[in-house]
Amino acid sequence: MLPSAPIMLNLRRLLLFLSILISQGLLTAPPVLAVPATEPLNIVVTIPVLKDLAEQVGGPYVRVTSLLSGYENEHTYSPKPSDLVAVRKARVLFEVGLGLEVWVSSLVKNAGSSSLRVVTTSKGIALLRDESSHEGAGHAGGEDEQGNPHVWMDPENAMTMMRHITEALIQSDPAHATEFRSNQASYLRKLDQLRVKLSERIARLADRRFVAHHPAWPYFARRFGFDVAATIQIQSGSEPSALQLQTLIGKIKKDRIKVIVSEIQLSQKLPDLLAKETKAKVIVLTTLPGGLPGTETYLDMLRYNVLQLANALESP
C-alpha cells in the first residue's frame, strides 16, 4: 500500500530540513571508523650498517634509530642522554658484538628496560685474528680476544647479519613475517650482484697491496683479494712509537707500496706523515655508511671503498 499524502509531505519536509542543516554545516555525516594502523617497531642499532640492514628488511614496519651517525669512531663512542631515551623506547637493539661496542652493556643496563631484546648480529661468523701483516707497526694483539670485530666489511658476513636481523623482526612482529622474508631475499640478491661486479673490477689489478690505518680491513681485503701489507695503529686509541713508524716508512719505500688507506672516522695525522715521507698516496675511505658523500647505504659504501681503492692502486 502506498504511503498517504500527509506522510509523504512530512518526509519531504524532513529531507528538506536535513539538507538545510547539512548545507549550513550544522549537521555532519557520522565519521567512518578507520582501522588503527599498527605502530612500527622501535628498533635501536649501534652503527649505521645495522640501521640500513634493519630498514631494508623491516620497511614501513620498523622505526630504526642508529646511535652512531657514521662520523664517529665506534670503538671510542660515548653515549648521549638521547641514546638512553631511544634504548628505553626500543623493543629490539641490534649490535655487532665481539667487543666492538664496549659501551653498549652499560647503556642497556642504565636504560633499565625489561622488555628490550639485545641481538648480536655477528653470531656464527668465522672470525679473523689480527696477527697477519703487521710488520713495521709492531703487533700488540687483536682488537678483541675473540677476533677482529669489523665483520660487516665482508658482504658475505653482512648476509649473515641480515639473517639474524630478519629472524629477530619476525619474532617481534610475526604478522609481517612474509614481508620481512621477501625483503631479505630481494636485498641479498642485490648484495650478491654488487659483490660479483666489484670482484670483476678488481680482477685486472696487478698490485693489490695497501697500508691500513687501523685493523678495519682484513675481512674486506680477504673477500675482494686485496693485501693489507701493514697497519699503522694496531689498536684504537694507541699510537705507534717513533721506531715503529721509521720501520714502517722503510717497508713502504722498500716494497714500493703506493697506497695508504685511512678512514674518515680517524685522525689523518699519521697517514699524512707517512705519505710525506714515502710519497705514497693517502685515500680516505669509510667503514660506516654515511661517513662520506655517496656512502649513505651499505651497498653505496662497499661500491665506494672498492672503486676508490682500485683506482688508487692503478694510478701511476
Beta strands 227-231; 209-212: pairing state: parallel
Q: What is the pLDDT of residue 17?
A: 58
Domain 205-314, CATH homologous superfamily name and number:
Nitrogenase molybdenum iron protein domain (3.40.50.1980)
Instruction: State mean pLDDT over 165-181.
Output: 97
Say yes or no to pLDDT of 137 above 80: no
Instruction: State mean pLDDT over 12-19.
Output: 60
pLDDT in tens, 82-108: 999 999 999 999 999 999 999 999 999
Instruction: Tell me the domain boundaries of the chain.
Output: 41-128+146-195, 205-314
Instruction: State mean pLDDT over 151-169.
Output: 98
Sign (positive or negative) of CA dihedral 264, 237, 96, 83: negative
Q: What is the pLDDT of residue 134?
A: 37
Q: What is the pLDDT of residue 52?
A: 98
Name residue 64's beta-bridge partners: 43
pLDDT in tens, 45-85: 999 999 999 999 999 999 999 999 988 888 889 999 999 99
Closest CA to 130 of 3, 216, 253: 216
Instruction: State mean pLDDT over 231-247.
Output: 88
Between 210 and 10, residue with greater pLDDT:
210
- Phi, psi (rounded to 5 degrees) for 147: 140, 175
CA 253 to chain centre: 36
User: For the chain, where are the E strands, in sequence order?
Assistant: 41-45, 62-66, 92-95, 117-120, 209-212, 227-231, 259-263, 281-285
Reduced to 3 states (helix: H, G, I; strand: E, B; else coil), residue 274 is helix
Q: What is the pLDDT of residue 268?
A: 94
Cβ neighbors of 190 (< 8 A, separation 6 or more) are 299
- The x, y and z cell numbers of residue 175, run together, are 604478522
Torsion of CA 109, 112, 117, 122, to 10 degrees: -20
Between 17 and 294, residue with greater pLDDT:
294
CA distance 137 to 234: 7
- The x, y and z cell numbers of residue 93, run together, are 637493539
Look-up: residue for cell 613475517?
177
Say yes or no to pLDDT of 36 above 60: no
CB 77 within 8 A of CB 68: yes
Closest CA to 210 of 153, 277, 275: 275
Q: What is the pLDDT of residue 304?
A: 98
* Average pLDDT of every residue of the chain: 87
Instruction: State mean pLDDT over 126-130.
Output: 87
Q: What is the pLDDT of residue 143?
A: 44
CB 65 within 8 A of CB 87: no
Say yes or no to pLDDT of 201 above 90: yes
* Percentage of the chain lying above the pLDDT 70 cut: 83
Look-up: residue for cell 653482512?
158
Say yes or no to pLDDT of 130 above 80: no
Judge if 41-128+146-195 and 205-314 fold alike in CATH terms. Answer: yes
Say yes or no to pLDDT of 186 above 90: yes
pLDDT in tens, 174-185: 999 999 999 999
Sign (positive or negative) of CA dihedral 236, 240, 244, 246: positive
Q: What is the pLDDT of residue 114?
A: 85
Say yes or no to pLDDT of 113 above 70: yes
* Percentage of the chain lying above the pLDDT 90 cut: 75
pLDDT band at 142 (very low <50, low <70, confident <90, very high): very low
CB 161 within 8 A of CB 152: yes
Domain 41-128+146-195, CATH homologous superfamily name and number:
Nitrogenase molybdenum iron protein domain (3.40.50.1980)
CB 158 within 8 A of CB 53: yes
Say yes or no to pLDDT of 5 above 60: no
- Judged by average pLDDT, the poorest of 66-75, 197-206, 210-219, 252-261 is 66-75
CA distance 104 to 123: 17
Helices 177-202 & 48-58 angle (0-180, nearest 10): 130
Q: What is the pLDDT of residue 28?
A: 53
